[in-house]
Structures are given as C-alpha cells and as structure tokens.
Amino acid sequence: MNRLSLLRAGIVLVLLVLVWLILDGLDSLLTGLVAAVIGASLFVLLHVPRPYHLRIWRLPRFVLFFLVESVRGAVDVAWRAFHPALPIVPAMIDHGVELPAGQPRMLLVSVISLLPGTLSADLDSDGKMLKVHAISEDPDIAVRTLQAQIAYLYGLIGTPRP
C-alpha cells in the first residue's frame, strides 16, 4: 500500500467519523470510531484503483458552478411551469461524450439533469453518445460547458472553458 492510498484511507476515516458525529453527536463516539475504522479498512480492501482523480482544490469552483446552474435550472423550469402558454419545446438531442469512462462520465450523466433545460436520458453502450432530453433552446452549449467543467475538475484540461 503506497502513501497515496494510505492518505485516501485516512480521508475516508475522517469523513466517516464526521458523518457519525453529525448523525449521533458525542454520546457514543467509541462505537462510531470502531465503525469508522471498519469502514475505512473495507475501503482499503475493496478499493478499485481508478485512473481519474478529482483535483480537490478545483472542487470549490465546480460546486459554485453547480449551485449557480442549479438555481438557474430551477428558476427556468418554475417559469415554464407557471407560464400560461407553457413554453416548452421538448426535443431529443444526441451529444458526443468526450469524457473518459468512470467517475468523470458518471458525473456528467448525473449533473446534466440539474442544469437548465437538459435531462440525461440514455447513454449508448460504448458510452460515446449521450441522449439528452431538452425543454429549452441551446442545450448543446449547456452540455459542452459542463463537460469542460468536469474535465477541468479531473485535471484532464487546464482551463474550465470549452
């Protein structure tokens, strides 16, 4: 076990203890510690090495992007829902996926649904083409922006812009 995976196990341990503290407070901390150690050990045993790791210092930027876009998405869909004329233009678009398989692609499929106007519908079997359901104009731009943000988060490109 190298130093990096030891560090990751440490992070998992700290996170698990934190979750325990949040859920249960200080009353039965000992039980929590034992459970957290078991959890972190299982992580070490079952962990499958992944080729892509997110750059933790780039996370705040992604979280901010995500929050701003989520709010825009919610306001957009609320506006469409309340508008008397129901201004939605449902369409299916196929969008090329440039992100590699694994975490980056999974994040793309999950987060698309929360961006304004787009909903991830289906990924084809080799994962190169994503069917996106759109209810607004310009869904391509939204998907491309998100792909660039994720690629930047995982250190695949040097700038978060497409």
Binding site for other proteins (CB under 8 A): 19, 21-23, 25, 70-71, 73-74, 76-78, 80-82, 86, 88, 90-92, 109-111, 113-114, 116-117, 119-122, 131, 133, 135
Q: In angstroms, what is the minimal distance from the CB of 51 to other proteins?
A: 23
DSSP string, 117-156: TEEEEEE-TTSSEEEEEESSS-HHHHHHHHHHHHHHHTTS
Whether residue 94 contacts residue 129, with contact meaning beta carbons closer than 8 Å, is answered with yes
Instruction: Report the DSSP beta bridge partners of residue 93.
Output: 132
Please say which residue, 8 or 133, places its beta carbon nearer to other proteins.
Answer: 133
Q: State the Cα torsion 136-141-144-145 to the nearest 10°.
A: -100
Please say which residue, 70 or 157, places its beta carbon nearer to other proteins.
Answer: 70
Q: In angstroms, what is the minimal distance from the CB of 73 to other proteins?
A: 4
Question: CA-CA distance, 31 to 64, in Å (whole number)?
Answer: 35
Please say which residue, 13 or 134, places its beta carbon nearer to other proteins.
Answer: 134
Please say which residue, 108 or 148, places its beta carbon nearer to other proteins.
Answer: 108
Q: In angstroms, what is the minimal distance from the CB of 123 to other proteins?
A: 8
DSSP 95: E
Whether residue 88 contacts residue 135, with contact meaning beta carbons closer than 8 Å, is answered with yes
Please say which residue, 114 or 157, places its beta carbon nearer to other proteins.
Answer: 114
